Amino acid sequence: MIKETDPDRFIKITEAAEILGFAHYRSVNQMIERGALVGYRLPHVTRRRVLLSEVLSLKEKAKEMSQAPSQEATRGRGRPRKYA
């Protein structure tokens, strides 16, 4: 498992996918494209990174939303997203 000691460090997209419970890193890339997460390009690194603190806050926000009383909203067809 990934050490979550320093929340202000950059982690790989695959590590973020593991923390959020996704099976594949593409889901995190889609979240970056939608604006739910911010992707950073570091010098001398070809791949994008995300901040661990942002991933953990997104996970906490989703946990709070799941515990809140649900409001019946009209949803489109298809599978619902894990995270907004």
Boundaries of every domain in the chain:
10-63
Residue 52 to residues 20, 23, 29, 55, 68, Cα–Cα distance (Å):
11, 18, 15, 5, 25
Give pLDDT tens digits for 40-83.
999 999 999 999 999 999 999 888 877 766 665 666 777 777 77
Q: What's the pTM? A: 0.74
The pair of three-digit structure tokens given for residue 23, joined into one six-digit string: 């099976």
Beta strands in 42-80 (DSSP E): 48-51
